């Protein structure tokens, strides 16, 4: 690989020139083969990448676990994690779908023994961060990089988790149906999604894609053939020391790409100005989730 990147780019430019107008460029390619391969694979990823991977890209993956540093929370900010830790016990089979950087898996691994913990995520960048975690060795951990709807699970699970994932999926009903078919007899699906009011001080409903009302979520759960054993609406408040912190927080959770419809567009000045105006006029930003604990409706009825 050429030490001097600038020179390497010039060489590549020359190659392209030779390629178009004819000429000898093999020696230049040989000198810069790694750079050329990276360039081509970069081009391929930006074309082929699935939308959701544009939100959960490497920049977001690296920042994901730090986002709490930008914000002060008031109230329970992670109801799903609390529900998971409450429901789990030693020796269970647990699947965390859209496990991201593997935070919940790590918590489970630190507390329980002899579990089979499977984490799956469509984003290779998020799963790489999960793979780099130090697990205890007391549980069997499997990490998979795939689309949940594509992956062929060979096992059944006592708990299936979707922690802030369903709102990123094209069809949450189909996702929940698939998960339902992966449950053990008394298995449970635990999930959290943002409710309509989430960040509503800054983003009005039409912009904030992937927000659910209670009615919408109840319908989704019913249509998937699930019975909600528990459902809660969890509201918490957030405050930020500065506008810059707020922007950092939004960037760290991939808000802009998501609002732009899962495209890779960079953060525009107009968008920042729009946010600043709204941010100026509010002291607190609302966070609000709907959290469900469900089981297979048919199985529940059969047991009665
Ligand atoms: C908001 S993040 C939540 C990450 C993690 N569950 C957490 O609570 O920190 C959503 C995650 O879902 C993943 N995801 C979205 N659609 C997916 C799909 N179809 N299959 C697998 N993972 C998916 C994303 O890549 C991302 O890591």
What is the 3 state secondary structure string of 3-50? Answer: CCHHHHHHHHHHHHHHHHHCCCCHHHHHHCHHHHHHHHHHHHHHHHCC
The reply to whether 76 and 29 lie within a common domain is no
Q: Would you state the pLDDT for residue 12?
A: 60
The reply to whether 166 and 295 lie within a common domain is yes
Q: Would you state the pLDDT for residue 61?
A: 87
* pLDDT higher than 60, residue 3: no
Reading the block at residue 57, the tokens are 């890209």
Specify the ligand 1 atom closest to the Cα of 151. 20
> From atom 14 of ligand 1, which residue's Cα is the shortest distance away?
98
The pLDDT-based confidence of 216 (bands split at 50, 70, 90) is very high
Specify the ligand 1 atom closest to the Cα of 162. 6
CATH code (residue 160): 3.40.50.150
Q: pLDDT digit string (tens) for 85-140?
A: 999 999 999 999 999 999 999 999 999 999 999 999 999 999 999 999 999 999 99
Specify the ligand 1 atom closest to the Cα of 170. 19
Specify the ligand 1 atom closest to the Cα of 161. 6
CA of 80 to the centre of ligand 1 (A): 14
The reply to whether 26 and 85 lie within a common domain is no
Q: Would you state the pLDDT for residue 24?
A: 59
Whether the Cβ atoms of residue 2 and residue 38 lie closer than 8 Å to each other:
no
Q: pLDDT digit string (tens) for 12-71?
A: 666 555 655 565 555 555 555 555 554 444 433 333 345 787 778 887 888 888 888 889
The reply to whether 96 and 212 lie within a common domain is yes
> From atom 4 of ligand 1, which residue's Cα is the shortest distance away?
100
Test site for ligand 1: of 59, 98, 182, 210, most ligand atoms within 8 A of the Cβ: 98
Specify the ligand 1 atom closest to the Cα of 81. 8
Averaged pLDDT for residues 170-191: 97
Which whole-number Å values give the CA distances from 89 to 84, 85, 92, 158, in the listed order? 10, 8, 6, 10
Q: Does an H or E element contain 112, and which?
A: none
The reply to whether 67 and 33 lie within a common domain is no
How many domains does the chain fold into?
2
The reply to whether 24 and 81 lie within a common domain is no
The reply to whether 29 and 81 lie within a common domain is no
Q: pLDDT digit string (tens) for 230-270?
A: 999 999 999 999 988 888 888 788 777 777 777 666 777 88
CA of 10 to the centre of ligand 1 (A): 40
CA of 141 to the centre of ligand 1 (A): 18
Q: pLDDT digit string (tens) for 109-120?
A: 999 999 999 999
The reply to whether 75 and 164 lie within a common domain is yes
Per DSSP bridges, beta strands 226-239 and 72-74 are antiparallel
Better-scored residue on pLDDT, 197 or 87: 87
The reply to whether 145 and 240 lie within a common domain is yes
CA of 24 to the centre of ligand 1 (A): 47
> From atom 8 of ligand 1, which residue's Cα is the shortest distance away?
163
Whether the Cβ atoms of residue 214 and residue 233 lie closer than 8 Å to each other:
yes
Reading the block at residue 190, the tokens are 């635990």
CA of 127 to the centre of ligand 1 (A): 10
> From atom 9 of ligand 1, which residue's Cα is the shortest distance away?
100
Specify the ligand 1 atom closest to the Cα of 192. 8
Q: Which residues line ligand 1 (CB under 6 A)?
A: 52, 56, 98-100, 103, 120-123, 126, 147-149, 163-165, 168-169
- The range of the structural domain enclosing residue 30 comes to 5-48
Alpha carbons within 13 angstroms on the beta-carbon side of residue 122 total: 18
The pTM assigned to this predicted structure is: 0.82
Specify the ligand 1 atom closest to the Cα of 148. 20
CA of 16 to the centre of ligand 1 (A): 39
The reply to whether 78 and 33 lie within a common domain is no
The reply to whether 152 and 29 lie within a common domain is no
Q: Does an H or E element contain 63, and which?
A: helix 58-63
The reply to whether 174 and 31 lie within a common domain is no
Spatial distance between the Cα atoms of 95 and 140, rounded to a whole number of angstroms? 12
């Amino acid at each position: 690989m050429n030490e001097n990147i600038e020179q390497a780019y010039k060489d590549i430019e020359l190659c392209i020139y030779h390629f178009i107008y004819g000429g000898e460029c093999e020696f230049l390619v040989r000198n810069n083969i790694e750079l050329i391969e990276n360039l081509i694979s970069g081009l391929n990823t930006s074309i082929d990448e699935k939308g959701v991977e544009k939100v959960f890209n490497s920049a977001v993956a690296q920042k994901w676990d730090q986002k709490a540093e930008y914000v002060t929370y008031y109230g329970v900010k992670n109801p799903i994690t609390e529900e998971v830790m409450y429901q789990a016990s030693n020796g269970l089979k647990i699947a965390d779908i859209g496990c991201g950087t593997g935070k919940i898996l790590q918590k489970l691994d630190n507390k329980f023994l002899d579990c089979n913990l499977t984490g799956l995520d469509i984003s290779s960048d998020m799963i790489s961060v999960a793979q780099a975690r130090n697990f205890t060795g007391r549980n069997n951990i499997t990490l998979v990089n795939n689309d949940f709807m594509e992956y062929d699970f060979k096992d059944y699970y006592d708990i299936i988790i979707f922690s802030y994932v369903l709102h990123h999926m094209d069809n949450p009903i189909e996702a929940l149906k698939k998960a339902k078919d992966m449950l053990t007899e008394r298995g449970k699906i635990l999930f959290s999604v943002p409710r309509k009011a989430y960040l509503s001080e800054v983003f009005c409903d039409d912009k904030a894609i992937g927000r659910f009302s209670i009615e919408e979520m109840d319908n989704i759960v019913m249509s998937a053939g699930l019975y909600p054993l528990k459902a809660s609406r969890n509201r918490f408040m957030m405050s930020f020391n500065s506008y810059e912190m707020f922007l950092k927080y939004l960037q760290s959770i991939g808000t802009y790409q998501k609002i732009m419809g899962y495209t890779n567009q960079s953060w525009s000045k107009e968008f920042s100005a729009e946010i600043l105006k709204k941010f100026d006029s509010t002291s607190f930003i609302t966070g609000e989730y709907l959290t469900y604990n469900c089981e297979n409706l048919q199985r529940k009825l059969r047991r009665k």
